[in-house]
């Protein structure tokens, strides 16, 4: 590979009106460090500011309403205190020359009454229980059968996304990513394993994609098109999600999103967290060909794969997840081909500064 091609990953990139310092994206990473009231904390401010050398940070998923919550200590973007907490973070990232978007989240059925207001059942497109457990105040507990959303509730749900997008503006974010991946609510509506509805939001592909498109249109009432993106994971089974025929479904969804002139499409390539190869005949690069905006490739990228993918113009931006946990200066380490810090998986979720803001920079600094 030529030296010039190698440098592509480290060159500036125009994401609509945003100039990114490089093509390396910090992927959304749930870390469960929010404070009381799911308010972002000063510790989170340190964490994000340390990683501001990323061309773009996409924040950890943040629930659009109390109903959208599925794990303890995840931040929200619906209360004034949460907006104020996030504003401290966006200002700290901007002070270091970084760019940061917020990921808007509703978990749907991946929750538990212990995490819901008044002990309510989690909501979903249909009353189909997810196999698996969820992290509550008393540890891991089995998920329950959710309540199917009534069609009369859907306008209110869309309004929650619109309001969260407004709150993101107030908090100083550079844009928003709509989380429609990894088996959460919008993905549950898309896929036929979880969507058994017979109304306008269920049945055929167009109906199952309807909520995603209506949510995206609502967010676009608040934000410029080039500041909005959607994350999809067409072949990932995480959170007990599946579809009997994903290719026409996701081709339709991406064609509809492309028609809205969205800023970017963020694709989890393969199974979330690996492997990239699923053995499914659906070749995800088809989706990139259907989308004229910025394409962010995500999932298991090494330095070599990222360089090659950028050089071949297979993706515009490359998102790294776990490497950013342990390497606040990941961009510099990738540029120099320097060794990476070892991950401490025991500190991924919850806890304090340990395994969060204490990973060393090159030369042993922790302040960047």
pLDDT band (50, 70, 90) for residue 367: low
C-alpha Rg value of the chain to the nearest Å: 19
Number of neighbours of residue 310 by Cβ within 10 angstroms: 25
Structure tokens of 195? 């969507």
In the set 13, 184, 201, 359, the catalytic residue is: 184
DSSP 8-class letter at 18: E
Q: Where are the beta strands (DSSP E) in 215-368?
A: 228-232, 264-268, 294-298, 317-320
Percent of the chain with pLDDT over 90: 95
pLDDT in tens, 24-37: 999 999 999 999 99
In the numeric block, the tokens 């109903």 are attached to 67
Nearest to 307 by CA among 292, 293, 321, 297: 297
Q: Where are the beta strands (DSSP E) in the chain?
A: 13-15, 18-20, 24-26, 56-63, 100-105, 123-124, 133-136, 139-142, 147-148, 176-179, 228-232, 264-268, 294-298, 317-320
Active site residue 48: no
Mean pLDDT of the chain: 95
DSSP bridge partners of 231: 179, 266
Predicted confidence (pLDDT) at residue 71 exceeds the cutoff of 60: yes
For the chain, give every domain's residue range. Answer: 3-363
pLDDT band (50, 70, 90) for residue 363: confident
pLDDT in tens, 240-283: 999 999 999 999 999 999 999 999 999 999 999 989 999 999 99
Tell me the CATH architecture of domain 3-363: Alpha-Beta Barrel (3.20)
The kind and range of the H/E element at 169 are helix 154-170
Is-above-0.75 flag for pTM?
yes
DSSP bridge partners of 228: 176
Nearby residues of 312 by Cβ (< 8 Å), 6 or more positions away? none
pLDDT in tens, 179-232: 999 999 999 999 999 999 999 999 999 999 999 999 999 999 999 999 999 999
- φ, ψ dihedrals at 122, nearest 5°: -60, 160
Number of neighbours of residue 37 by Cβ within 10 angstroms: 11
CA–CA gap between residue 211 and residue 214 (Å, rounded): 5
């Amino acid at each position: 590979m030529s030296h010039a091609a190698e440098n592509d990953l480290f060159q500036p990139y125009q994401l609509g009106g945003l100039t990114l310092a490089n093509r390396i994206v910090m992927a959304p990473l749930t870390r469960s460090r929010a404070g009381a009231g799911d308010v972002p904390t000063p510790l989170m401010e340190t964490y994000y500011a340390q990683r501001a050398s990323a061309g773009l940070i996409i924040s950890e998923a943040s629930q659009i309403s109390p109903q959208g919550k599925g794990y303890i200590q995840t931040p929200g973007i619906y209360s004034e205190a949460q907006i104020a907490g996030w504003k401290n973070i966006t200002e700290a990232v901007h002070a270091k020359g970084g760019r940061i978007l917020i990921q808007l989240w509703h978990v749907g059925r991946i929750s538990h009454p212990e995490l819901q207001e008044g002990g309510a059942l989690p909501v979903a497109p249909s009353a189909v229980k997810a196999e698996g457990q969820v992290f509550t105040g008393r540890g891991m507990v089995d998920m329950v059968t959710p309540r199917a959303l009534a069609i009369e509730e859907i306008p209110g749900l869309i309004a929650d996304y619109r309001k969260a997008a407004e709150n993101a503006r107030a908090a100083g974010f550079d844009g928003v990513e709509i989380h429609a991946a990894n088996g959460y609510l919008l993905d549950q509506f898309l896929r036929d394993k979880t969507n058994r509805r017979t109304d306008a939001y269920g049945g055929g592909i167009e109906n199952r994609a309807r909520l995603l498109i209506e949510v995206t249109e609502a967010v676009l009432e608040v934000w410029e098109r080039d500041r909005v993106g959607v994350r999809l994971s067409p072949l990932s089974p995480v959170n007990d999600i599946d579809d009997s025929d994903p290719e026409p479904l996701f081709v339709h969804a991406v064609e509809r999103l492309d028609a809205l002139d969205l800023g970017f499409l963020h694709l989890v390539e393969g199974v979330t967290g690996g492997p990239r190869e699923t053995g499914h005949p659906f070749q995800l690069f088809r989706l990139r060909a259907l989308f004229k905006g910025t394409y962010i490739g995500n999932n298991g990228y090494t330095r070599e794969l990222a360089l090659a993918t950028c050089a071949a113009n297979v993706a515009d931006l490359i998102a790294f997840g776990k490497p950013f946990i342990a390497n606040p200066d990941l961009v510099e380490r990738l540029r120099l081909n320097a060794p990476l810090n070892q991950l401490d998986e025991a500190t991924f979720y919850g806890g304090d500064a340990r395994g969060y803001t204490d990973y060393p920079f090159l030369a042993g600094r922790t302040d960047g």
